[in-house]
Structure 1
Amino acid sequence: MDDFAAQGGIMTHEPIERRRAVRVRPMHAKAVCSTHHAGGVYNIRDVSRDAVLLEGRPRVPAGTRVSLHMLLPGVDPMTLTGRVLRASTGSFSSHKMVVRFSSVSADDEDRFADLVEREWSRVCSPRSIVASSSLSVRLELMHRISQLGGDVTRASSPIELIHRLEEARGRCLVVFLGPTLGGCTGAEIATFLATAYPTVRRVLVTLTDHSDGSRPPDPFHAALEPPWGEDAIQEELRYARQSAVRSPMVTGEA
């Protein structure tokens, strides 16, 4: 606080992030930031539905009211007002600041939701893994997921599944598990995943229809039963994606 006050509202260190809303880092995003006295074009480093982190010049002190015209990839231009919450001094040509929006319309909320969904899809590949000892199960389910536009890969053994998960670096949202995988049952693999990869959704792929309204067996989140219809697969992908975007931050390329 002493550094903040000494600099007249400008911190000499990086702005501290306190936002809880999901943030994304869209590529090639710009914002025109205007005040009563000056204006400039800034790079958008990350954005959420309530605030944005900008980098550029001129320097704008904390507490300043600003108008933002934001150009985000794949989203209609948005004009919002806000206040600079935090700012940092940088080189002569670059300063960072966090701007909290004063209000966001319902239409802009929808635009932010679309942006988060798209950026999450861009950085999260593969999105799902089909893991089963059965070649026919792997090929058929992969084909159906691909037809729905999903990113999918496969695993035919526990070791290959772990390799796929590590390769994805936390970007896998759902594993579709057959009744067996290598020498293990699907339930044994799901128990391992629940501990080692707790954020991954675990779906049991059954070969016969047991739909009786009962809950899927632990430790599965859900069961996918024949005929493995599009609606059922879409529902699992949607549920996993929605759960994932509750995480503190979704990051892309800076």
Structure 2
Amino acid sequence: MSAFDLSGRVALITGSSRGIGRSIAEGLVQAGAVVVLNGVNVDRLSAAHADLAAGFGADRVFFRAFDVTDAEAVAAGIDWIESTVGPLRILVNNAGVQHRVPLLDLDVADWQRVMDTNLTSAFLVGREVARHMIARGRGKIINVASVQADLARPTIAPYTVSKGGLRNLTRAMTAEWARHGLQVNAIAPGYIHTEMTQKLVDDEAFNDWILGRTPANRWGTPADLIGPALWLAGDASDFVNGQVIFIDGGMTVVV
């Protein structure tokens, strides 16, 4: 099982004060990693840090609040992690937002906000982290995409486009960085029951549609993403490059 052992490896998870990012962070620290939580809501981030640090120790869990859409803030944040916590071995680009409105009514500012948060941030953080990883000749980058990288639904066009872009950003990173010892891959969650999707779960018609559309006949949970993330973060995936792993209960393979 040493191929799945992350002992002592420093991991940054963006957007990790709650939901999917928080669960992946907890899974990585359970596997031995030293994790750095990230977000922009300092109160929520601090609370998540306190909770995880209480369970795993203050020497295993850190946090750094910075805006992943701001290139200067990203550079400063990564420099702080490298100098204060240690050399980054793992990056999980998880930060993301949703905005639901029909395309004809979509404001350009809202389109740009979703693109910046979901796609450009992965480029900015990934590029800054890769500078250090390439110099050391090793590193794992996991981009959190979505089934919407391959599918589309009405009213969520910016999200769908950003996740499709994230799929191809994963490939572009692989094309340039794999030769330097980095493995860049993506996980593509299906419909996951989190605080952010609670309203959809509570919508009886939508919930019935999800259950009928998903062969596994249930919503996913953040815990369902931990195993695949651990695999991609550890040595067991050292020859896996540029792949998108769908974690969706079978949704994308049926009609």
For normalisation by structure 1, the TM-score amounts to 0.27
For normalisation by structure 2, the TM-score amounts to 0.27
Task: Determine which structure has more spread, i.e. the larger CA radius of gyration.
Answer: 1
More helix as a share of residues:
2
Q: Which has the higher contact order (CA 8 A, sep 6+)?
A: 2
